[in-house]
Amino acid sequence: MSILSYVVKLENLQELRRLCHWGPVIALSVIGVCSSVAILDSVIWFWPLDTTGGSINFIMLINWTVLILYNYFNAMFVGPGYIPLGWKPENVQDSPYLQFCRVCQGFKSPRSHHCRKCNRCVMKMDHHCPWINNCCGHLNHAYFTSFLLLAPLGCVHAAFIFIMTMYTQLSDRISFGWSSVKIDMSAVKWSPQAIIPFSVPAFAATLFGLGLALGTTIAVGMLFVIQMKVIFRNKTSIEAWIEEKAKDRIQYYQTGEEFIFPYDLGSRWENFRQVFTWSGTPEGDGIEWPVHERCHQHTLTIEQLKQKADKRVRSVQYRVIEDYSGACCPLGKGVQTLIRTPCTEEPRIPLSRGETVFATRGTKWWMYGDKVLDEDQAKAGGRMRGWFPRRCVEKCLYDAASSSATGSGKKDD
C-alpha cells in the first residue's frame, strides 16, 4: 500500500507531464517501432522460437528494449539534481567568487548553471536534452550516457534482423535484369514455419524499421562518442566551452595567466568514476567537487566572472528602430532573415521602437543580446535575453556599456 501511495503522489504525477513533449514522443516512438518490428520479423519469419538460436535472439531483443527504456526513464525522471532555491555558501567569504542567480534568488554553486527550460539552477549541467525533456547533469549523467550506448547497440541488432529477414524472404523472388533489379512480391512464399506470409506491408514495415535503426545508430552513436570525450576529461559540454573561452581571453589580453581546468583529475579512470559507479548514483553532493592539486573549488567560477565582465565591456549598444514580435521565423523582416534564422532553441525577444539592447554576438542577419529593462522589471529579477533580427536595430553613436546607469540592465544571473 505504501508503494502505491508513493507512486500516485501529486509530484510524481506532475513529472509524467515530461512525456507530453515532442522529444519523448519521437524517442519512444522510434524505440517502440524498432523493437516491435524486430521482434515480429524475428519470431515469424527469420528466427522462430522453436529453435535454440531463435529463443536466445528473442531474449536479447527483449533485454535491449528493457535496458534502453530503464536508462531512458531514469535519465528523464531522476533528473540532474537542482541547487536549492536561495542557496548560499556555508562560508560567506566565498560569495564574491560565485555568480548570483536572480531567478532562483540564490548563488550558483561551482559547476552549476541556470536552465531556462527547467527554470532552475542545475548541478553540473551538461545541456538540456529535448529527447528526455530534461537536463543532463550530476545525478542522471550516467543514465543518459548509458542510454546513448545501449540505443545504438540495440539498433544494430535490430538492423541485422531486418536485413536477414528481407534476405531470407526475398532471395528467391529477386530477378536481375541487364539494367535493373526486380522484386516479385505477388507470389508470396509460404513456409511451414511462417504463420503469416511476408507480404508487401511486412516488407514496407521492415524497410522502414531498417531506416530508423540505421539513422538512430549513426546519430545517437555520435552523441555517445561526444559524451565519452568530455567524461574522460571530467568536463561537461558547457565547461569545455568555458575552457576554450578562457584560453581566448588570456591570448587576447596577453595576461600571461595559466588556466588549468580544475576538475580533470589527471586519470581517465578517475574521471570516469566521477560519473559511473556500481550503485548508479554518482559520488558527491553536487556542491563540492574533487579538484586538481593546483586548483581550488572556485578556480572555474572566478574564470566565469572574468568572462562575464569581459563580455559586458565588449558588448555593443543598439537602439531599436523597428518593432519585432519575437517570432522564430518572421515573415515581414526580409527573405534572408527568414531563411537564416538561428537553428537553436535559444529564445527570441520581442522589441519595440526606442528600446535599448546590448548585443554580445551575432550573425549577418541575426543578433543575440540583452534588452535593457525598466527599473521595476530589473528589481523583480526579470531578464530578456535572446535573438532578434539585425535589421530591427541600429548601433548607437556612443558605447555606454560600462556606464553605471545601464550596468544593472546587463547584470548576469
pLDDT of residue 314: 85
- Averaged pLDDT for residues 370-378: 77
State the pLDDT confidence band at 313, using cuts at 50, 70 and 90.
Answer: confident
pLDDT of residue 255: 86
pLDDT of residue 391: 94
C-alpha to C-alpha distance for 151 and 213, rounded to whole angstroms: 9
- Averaged pLDDT for residues 42-60: 86
pLDDT of residue 2: 47
- Averaged pLDDT for residues 240-247: 92
CATH 3.10.129.10 applies to domain 315-410: no
State the pLDDT confidence band at 190, using cuts at 50, 70 and 90.
Answer: very low
Cα–Cα distances in Å, from 300 out to 99, 312, 360? Answer: 11, 19, 21
The set of cell numbers assigned to 160 is 541485422
pLDDT of residue 51: 82
The set of cell numbers assigned to 384 is 530578456
Residue 297 has pLDDT above 70, yes or no: yes
- Averaged pLDDT for residues 287-301: 94
pLDDT of residue 176: 53
Burial readout 228-248 (b: 16 or more C-beta within 10 A, e: otherwise): bebbebbbbebbbebbebbee
Burial-class residue 387 by CB neighbours within 10 Å (0-12, 13-18, 19+).
buried
Indicate the length of the chain as a whole number: 413
Residue 407 has pLDDT above 50, yes or no: no
For residue 312, the tally of other CB atoms under 10 A from its CB is: 18
pLDDT of residue 396: 86
The alpha carbon of 409 is separated from its chain's Cα centroid by a whole number of angstroms, namely: 29
Q: Which residues is 35 bridged to in the sheet?
A: none
C-alpha to C-alpha distance for 62 and 58, rounded to whole angstroms: 6
What is the sign of the dihedral through the CA atoms of 176, 179, 183 and 187?
negative
State the pLDDT confidence band at 170, using cuts at 50, 70 and 90.
Answer: confident
Q: What is the largest CA-CA distance in the chain?
A: 85
- Averaged pLDDT for residues 18-28: 93
pLDDT of residue 378: 62
Residue 373 has pLDDT above 90, yes or no: no
Cα–Cα distances in Å, from 9 out to 3, 12, 82, 322? Answer: 10, 5, 20, 49
Tens digits of residue pLDDT in 330-357: 888 999 998 898 888 788 999 999 999 9
Q: Where in the chain is the domain with CATH 2.30.30.40?
A: 315-410
pLDDT of residue 169: 81
More confident of the two residues 47 and 25: 25
- Percentage of the chain modeled with pLDDT above 90: 60
C-alpha to C-alpha distance for 35 and 38, rounded to whole angstroms: 5
Among 160, 98, 102, CA closest to 302: 98
Of all helices (H) and strands (E), which one includes residue 379? Answer: helix 375-379
Residue 405 has pLDDT above 90, yes or no: no
State the pLDDT confidence band at 199, using cuts at 50, 70 and 90.
Answer: confident
Tens digits of residue pLDDT in 380-390: 656 788 999 99
Question: Poorest-confidence range of 3-17, 211-225, 304-318?
Answer: 3-17
- Averaged pLDDT for residues 45-49: 81
Among 27, 44, 22, CA closest to 212: 27
Helix (H, G, I), strand (E, B) or coil at 3: helix
Residue 321 has pLDDT above 90, yes or no: yes
DSSP states along 40-89: HIIIIIIS-TTSHHHHHHHHHHHHHHHHHHHHHHHHHHT-S-BPPTT---
Q: Which residues is 176 bridged to in the sheet?
A: 181
Residue 52 sits at φ, ψ, to 5 deg, of -65, -45
Half-sphere exposure of 149 (CA within 13 A, CB side): 11
* Eight-state DSSP code of residue 133: T
Question: Is 129 in the active site?
Answer: yes
pLDDT of residue 189: 43
Cα–Cα distances in Å, from 115 out to 20, 124, 358? Answer: 19, 11, 21
Q: Considering the candidates 104, 129, 135, 392, report the single residue annotated as catalytic.
A: 129
State the pLDDT confidence band at 404, using cuts at 50, 70 and 90.
Answer: very low
The strand pair at 393-395 and 316-320 is best described as antiparallel
More confident of the two residues 272 and 413: 272
Helix (H, G, I), strand (E, B) or coil at 118: coil
